[in-house]
Chains A and B, each alone.
Chain A
Amino acid sequence: MTHFAAVVLFALFASVVFGITQRETPRRMVRYGAYCFVLFVASAIVLSWLMFLIAR
């Protein structure tokens, strides 16, 4: 398993739990879960590039 696949799966599982527990209606649960997922993955990509550039 690649590091990126691990990040994506981590983001998926955590986002599902966050979505269900932090919102009340199904529609808002899905939207909040998707929002968390995008934030997880996007921040991982941005931080990875930052670390790559710092290490050069």
Chain B
Amino acid sequence: MATQENKNAAAEGGFVYLPLIAGWLVPGAGHFLLRKWGRGALLAASILGMFAMGLAMHGKLYTNAHDILDILGLAGDLGNGLLFVVSRIFGLGADQVQVTTGDYGTRFIVVAGLLNVIAAVDAHNLRTGRKS
């Protein structure tokens, strides 16, 4: 149920998709824009932590879309927003999975992206007043 405060927030002017886009680009930023500091910090810590652990486990960052599994993996990775772009620029992440933990790391990175999309949509729902 939406509270009066959120209805008021939804009634405010401005670009309604800003929290969605900001939340996608930077984990937790959508909630920070809505002054939900605690929720934003927890989301950012969880998503950044999962992404960092994926890299630490020598997970792979998907870079091509040669088959359906690569396309799905790339879609998940792109959910990380700027984290994915910055990691690609600095050459982080393995090109090929060579150790056992690398397979887990790859999944951690993909799931971090999917969780980030969920968090960004949540920020959008807060902005529109659909959620309190």
Residues of A at under 8 Å CB distance from B?
Answer: 1, 3, 6, 9-10, 12-14, 16-18, 20-21, 24
Contact = CB atoms under 8 A, between A and B. Distances in A.
A13 B49 contact: yes
B122 A20 contact: yes
B96 interface: no
Contact of B118 (A3, A6, A13, A21): A21
Interface of B: 1, 39, 42-43, 45-47, 49-50, 53, 57, 101, 104, 108, 111-112, 115, 118-119, 121-122, 131-132
Contact of B1 (A3, A14, A24): A24
A24 B101 CA distance: 36
Contacts of B131: 24
